[in-house]
Amino acid sequence: MSPTREDQHWMYRNMVTSRRFEEAIAKIYFEGKSPAFNMANGPIPGEMHLSDGQEPVAVGVCAHLTPEDVVTATHRPHHQAIAKGVDLVKMAAEIFGKATGLSGGRGGHMHIFDADVNFACSGIIAQGMGPAVGAALSRKMQGKSGVAVAFVGEGAVNQGGWHEAMNLAAVWNLPFICVIEDNAWGISVSKETSSAVANNTDRAAAYGIPGKRIEGNDPYAIHEAAGEAIARARAGNGPSLIEVETYRLAGHFMGDAEGYRPEGEKDALFKKDPIPKMRARMIGDGMASEEELDRIEAEATARVDAAIKFARESDDAAPEDALTRVFAA
Amino acid sequence: MTKSNERKLTIARAMAEATAQEMRIDPKVFVMGEDIGPLGGVYGNTRGLIEEFGAERIRDTPISETAFIGAAVGAAQDGMRPVVELMFVDFFGVCFDAIYNLMAKNTYFSGGKFKVPMVLMTSTGGGYSDGGQHSQCLYGTFAHLPGMKVVAPSNAYDAKGLMTAAMRDDSPVVYMYHKGLQGMGWLGTEAGATVHVPEESYTLEIGKAKVVREGKDVSIVSVGMGVHNALKAAKTLEAQGVSAEVVDLVSLVPLDRETIRASVAKTGRLIVVDEDYMSYGLSGEIVASVTEHDISVLKSAPKRVAFPDVPIPFARVMEQYCLPNPDKIVAAWDEMKAA
């Protein structure tokens, strides 16, 4: 089923919000890091993994989720966090390491946690699989509604933990969906040279569950496939596997020279940028007017600007607070 | 001391050079890991190797640490000499079974009939706000478990000699290099780690500590980045008329207790500097090595400057609050003196 007009507006709004957020972060990230690029400096230190280009996966899936549903994400989490409804202001503050951040600055960009919308992410490959399966198990055991979605990259399917979690979800028939964001690259190593099969949903057969691959980073097709998988999970019919061909328009991390990419690959990807594509389609389908989409974009920009302003103006975390929150209070 | 006209290398280049030289003379040596091929390693320590040795011997792997570290154990037992890279030591969680239940134990289990001559290279250390899954040292974790030699160079000269020694060792060697010493500008880098490195291949004895600065009032014992913090603190103390001796452990397993004890016997005072977590780790082991041997040599209670027992926080002010630094070492001396 095609996304409704309302869904499409929501999807577009969240894609644009995510893109504006990443653009703002990208610009600020380089403050204090020139002329010599040193990751330790500037208002946003540390590694930074941007999600530009991968927005369709986040919105196509999260359009079907409510705050009670559980999402685990990766080291590249901002688009999914935004689509899942994570507090943008507090997320920005966390990325700046501020006291007002989601975790008071303890986590940072790879460790975004928002309990209000059941969102968590982590920095090591395939780590979110077990926790998402566990959340699905918990819902089933408690007779509570809600599904769990683990977003992983295509490189994660070569981790042992990925297979173990898939099998567990299948053998216990849990309300779990694994969504693979196939951006073709694990840092510098291509999917082609690291994975034995081209289509990771072939692996669904190993667990006796449905698997569907979406080509072309298409938010409409992602929305449809995710809708089916999530409805199936909600109905108690067990897990599904989805793989989406998506585009990493940024480097693995900011500062990545991307010398491993074939000549011309980046240019070709930018030509397939999903945001202008969706905009054109919505207008062509009569799902939105230019003015409506302009307004959505302006609102997204304003929302991001406000979040960034809050983050910048917030107080630093107190150094000695580093010693707190190790154990439950 | 490096003279101005001598060739200086970063630790990253020293590691790559040692590996290349060994691969030229020993066809059994090969390298596996994530992004160690055309990228040359995220921290530069395999740069140039794929160009010389090709993809058969310089093998980019899938993100499958359990598989390729386990495979290295099997290949090592079958006569190869694999060098594998665990990109961040923090990632040990996904593959520790292959490391400590296989790599570390198979020599013993087989009564010495199987050898496991492999090198596990892994990056350690924080200070650049990479959060709690990309900044740990975990020296104590690895050194605690029997069956693995563990080395951690503080400079490029030692790095090259240790790398060659590790590849020639018939036992598994965990080679822990600190990101802040690699000479990668994007991580910030400690200039003192980039030193003169001879062109020719050479080995450094694994299990031998070095007195890198002589002194008579206090022994500051550390490893890796901590050695540089200790040397800076020693300079500050010198200006105050205090003569600090600095011991670079170089190897954690075997631990050169003799050198530590001899230094403390001379100075009567001990400060241990460790970027790893305080409790149940390296710093306690060093203190115990001195006190259980002869507590009478100590003129005052020993001090530890180590990472507090909390996960590594992201926010810069929090992380820097937790990390050892020269000021904390000087403060430890002040407390020791006042006691």
Render pLDDT for B83-113 as a digit per residue (tens, 0 to 9).
Answer: 999 999 999 999 999 999 999 999 999 999 9
| Same-domain status, B221 and B184 | no
Report pLDDT for A326.
95
Report pLDDT for B75.
96
| Same-domain status, B144 and B271 | no
Q: Give domain status of residue B173, yes or no.
A: yes
Q: Give domain status of residue B3, yes or no.
A: no
Q: Give domain status of residue B318, yes or no.
A: yes
- Whether A319 and B34 lie within 8 Å, measured CB to CB: no
| Same-domain status, B21 and B125 | yes
Tell me the chain B residues in contact with residue A193 when contact means C-beta distances shorter than 8 Å.
Answer: 60
> What is the per-residue pLDDT across A270-295, written as a single tens digit (0 to 9) for each?
999 999 999 999 999 999 999 999 99
Report pLDDT for B4.
64
From the options 2.40.50.140, 3.40.50.300, 3.40.50.970, 3.60.21.10, give the CATH code of A5-314: 3.40.50.970
Report pLDDT for B3.
63
Instruction: Tell me which residue in B39, B62, B94 faces A124 most closely, judged by beta carbons.
Output: B94
| Same-domain status, B28 and B132 | yes
- Whether B129 and A320 lie within 8 Å, measured CB to CB: no
Q: Give domain status of residue B202, yes or no.
A: no
Report pLDDT for B339.
77
| Same-domain status, B133 and B264 | no
Query: Considering B34, B85, B134, B275, which one is annotated as catalytic?
Result: B134
- Whether B314 and A108 lie within 8 Å, measured CB to CB: yes
Report pLDDT for B185.
80
SS3 content of chain A, % helix, strand, coil (to 5): 50, 10, 40
Domain spans, chain A: 5-314
Q: Give domain status of residue B205, yes or no.
A: no
For the cut 90, the answer to whether the pLDDT of residue B338 exceeds it is: no
| Same-domain status, B313 and B187 | no
- SS3 string, chain B, reads CCCCCCCEECHHHHHHHHHHHHHHHCCCEEEEECCCCCCCCCCCCCCCHHHHHHHHHEEECCCCHHHHHHHHHHHHHCCCEEEEEEEEHHHHHHCHHHHHHHHCCHHHHCCCCCCCCCEEEEEECCCCCCCCCCCCCCHHHHHHCCCCEEECCCCHHHHHHHHHHHHHCCCCEEEEEEHHHCCCHHHCCCHHHCEECCCCCCCCCCCCCEEEECCCCEEEEECCHHHHHHHHHHHHHHHCCCCEEEEECCEEECCCHHHHHHHHHHHCCEEEEEEEECCCCHHHHHHHHHHHHHHHHCCCCCEEEEECCCCCCCCHHHHHHHCCCHHHHHHHHHHHHHC
Tell me the average pLDDT across B289-312.
98
For the cut 60, the answer to whether the pLDDT of residue B1 exceeds it is: no
Report pLDDT for B246.
98
Q: Which domain holds residue B158?
A: 8-196
Q: Residue B2: pLDDT band by 50, 70, 90 thresholds?
A: low
Which candidate in B59, B317, B321, B325 is best for mutational testing of the A interface (most A CBs within 10 A)? B317
CATH classification of the domain holding B264:
3.40.50.920
Nearest residue on chain B to A319, judged by CA atoms? B318
CATH classification of the domain holding B147:
3.40.50.970
Q: Give domain status of residue B101, yes or no.
A: yes
Using only the alpha carbons of chain B, give its radius of gyration.
Answer: 20
Q: Chain centroid to CA B326: how far?
A: 19
State which residues of chain A have pLDDT below 50. none
Annotated catalytic residue B65: yes
Q: Residue B139: pLDDT band by 50, 70, 90 thresholds?
A: very high
> What is the per-residue pLDDT across B311-322, written as a single tens digit (0 to 9) for each?
999 999 999 999
| Same-domain status, B165 and B125 | yes
| Same-domain status, B159 and B185 | yes
Which of B196, B228, B243 is the C-terminal boundary of a domain?
B196
Query: Considering B17, B22, B34, B65, which one is annotated as catalytic?
Result: B65
Q: Give domain status of residue B1, yes or no.
A: no
Report pLDDT for A209.
98
Q: What is the tally of structural domains in chain B? A: 2
| Same-domain status, B225 and B172 | no
Tell me the chain A residues in contact with residue B63 when contact means C-beta distances shorter than 8 Å.
Answer: 125-126, 155-156, 158-159, 186, 189, 194
Report pLDDT for B143.
98
What amino acid is encoded at A231 in this protein?
Answer: A
Report pLDDT for B186.
80
- Whether A189 and B321 lie within 8 Å, measured CB to CB: no
Q: Give domain status of residue B79, yes or no.
A: yes
Which of B196, B227, B254 is the C-terminal boundary of a domain?
B196
Which H or E run contains A88? helix A88-95
Which of B169, B196, B223 is the C-terminal boundary of a domain?
B196
Annotated catalytic residue B144: no
Q: Give the neighbor-by-neighbor strand order of the sheet with A211-214.
A: A113-114, A119-121, A70-73, A148-153, A176-182, A240-245, A211-214
Q: For residues A12 and A278, give the distance between their C-alpha atoms in angstroms, rounded to a whole number.
A: 7
| Same-domain status, B67 and B171 | yes
For the cut 80, the answer to whether the pLDDT of residue B328 exceeds it is: yes
For the cut 90, the answer to whether the pLDDT of residue B221 exceeds it is: yes
Report pLDDT for A25.
98
For the cut 90, the answer to whether the pLDDT of residue B39 exceeds it is: yes
- Whether A39 and B94 lie within 8 Å, measured CB to CB: no
- Token pair 């000021």 is found at B327
Tell me the chain B residues in contact with residue A319 when contact means C-beta distances shorter than 8 Å.
Answer: 317-318, 320-321
ipTM for the assembly: 0.91
